[in-house]
């Protein structure tokens, strides 16, 4: 019985992935996000090459890593938005209720959405690898082992972004609410980190006692955000690659896996708790 239930869950996940993946690949949004990321990347590389010519520099350490970093950020914003509206859109359209009348559970539905977005990024990764390999061949900028590590680690960064988006979507009943909550949370993260950085520019002697308490509060909030915000894992991962620390590199992968599991588990639990109508 348990084996039959497991097989049914796996089958449901496969059907959901295929359904969602085909729908995404037939739309223009996915290709538009890739196009924008590569255009921005090309602009950065053009400026970089111009600087090399002016300074007469022929080599540079990890020249393609920063453009890749920017490209991943752009794609991550696209993926966090589509994952943040994925559950709420199904709920708003009424298709979630229809799906849950069948063999689809909260777990299989959430995992299906997650792996669909992961597969979308894996397809994006093929475009990125081909693009940077072509750039390397045309410009002699090295397609380094560091870049390969960045490409591999980016899968785990994007996993954090997708799981965070699904968590937001599980909390809301409408697409508009999902987008508003997502934007509000990300802006709040940014505002707190900016305020903390601003306070650090002032010496302690120049701040009154209430402002010192406020700076300390912002410090703890900023530390918390560095673990909650999915985008923090991208910058943390890039730092581990830049300092060439395999220990930090593997540790970052572990952090990303734990982060994804936690937020996916929360998404499944909240979806089960709220039900199909929210």
pLDDT (tens digit per residue) in 97-126: 777 776 778 899 999 999 999 999 999 999
Number of DSSP helices (H) and strands (E) in the chain, helices first? 10, 0
Please state, in angstroms and rounded to a whole number, the distance separating the CA atoms of residues 217 and 29: 40
The residues near 36 (Cβ < 8 Å, ≥ 6 apart) are: 74
The residues near 109 (Cβ < 8 Å, ≥ 6 apart) are: 12, 16, 87, 96, 99, 100, 271
* Predicted local distance difference test score (pLDDT) of residue 1: 40
Q: Determine contact, residues 117/82, Cβ cutoff 8 Å.
A: yes
Q: Determine contact, residues 185/168, Cβ cutoff 8 Å.
A: yes
* Predicted local distance difference test score (pLDDT) of residue 4: 60
pLDDT (tens digit per residue) in 222-243: 999 989 999 888 888 888 888 8
Per-residue pLDDT of the chain (278 residues; tens, 9 = 90+): 456 677 778 888 888 898 889 988 998 999 999 999 999 998 888 887 766 565 555 555 667 788 889 999 999 999 999 999 988 888 888 777 777 776 778 899 999 999 999 999 999 999 999 999 998 888 877 778 888 999 999 999 999 999 999 999 999 888 999 999 999 999 999 899 888 888 888 887 777 888 888 888 989 999 999 899 998 888 888 888 888 888 999 999 999 999 999 999 999 999 888 876 65
The gap from C-alpha 119 to its chain's centroid, in whole angstroms, comes to: 13
pTM: 0.89
Average pLDDT, the chain: 86
């Amino acid at each position: 019985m348990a084996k039959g239930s497991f097989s049914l869950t796996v089958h449901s996940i496969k059907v959901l992935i295929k359904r969602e993946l085909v729908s995404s690949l037939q739309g223009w949004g996915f290709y538009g996000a890739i196009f924008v990321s590569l255009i921005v990347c090309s602009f950065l590389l053009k400026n970089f090459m111009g600087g090399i010519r002016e300074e007469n520099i022929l080599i540079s350490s990890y020249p393609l890593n920063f453009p890749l970093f920017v490209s991943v950020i752009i794609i991550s914003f696209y993926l966090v938005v589509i994952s943040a509206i994925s559950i709420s859109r199904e709920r708003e359209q009424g298709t979630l209720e229809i799906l849950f009348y069948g063999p689809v559970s909260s777990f299989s539905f959430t995992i299906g959405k997650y792996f669909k977005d992961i597969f979308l990024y894996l397809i994006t990764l093929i475009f990125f690898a081909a693009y940077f390999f072509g750039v390397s061949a045309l410009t002699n900028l090295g397609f380094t082992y560091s870049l390969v590590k960045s490409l591999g680690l980016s899968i785990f960064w994007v996993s954090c972004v997708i799981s965070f988006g699904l968590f937001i979507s599980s909390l809301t009943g409408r697409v508009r609410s999902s987008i508003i909550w997502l934007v509000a949370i990300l802006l709040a993260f940014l505002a707190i980190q900016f305020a903390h950085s601003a306070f650090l520019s002032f010496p302690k002697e120049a701040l009154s006692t209430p402002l010192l308490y406020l700076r300390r509060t912002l410090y703890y909030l900023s530390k918390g955000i560095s673990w909650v915000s999915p985008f923090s894992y991208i910058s943390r991962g890039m730092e581990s690659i830049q300092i060439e620390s395999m220990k930090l590199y593997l540790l970052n992968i572990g952090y990303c896996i734990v982060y994804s599991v936690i937020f996916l588990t929360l998404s499944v639990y909240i979806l089960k708790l709220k039900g199909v109508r929210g």
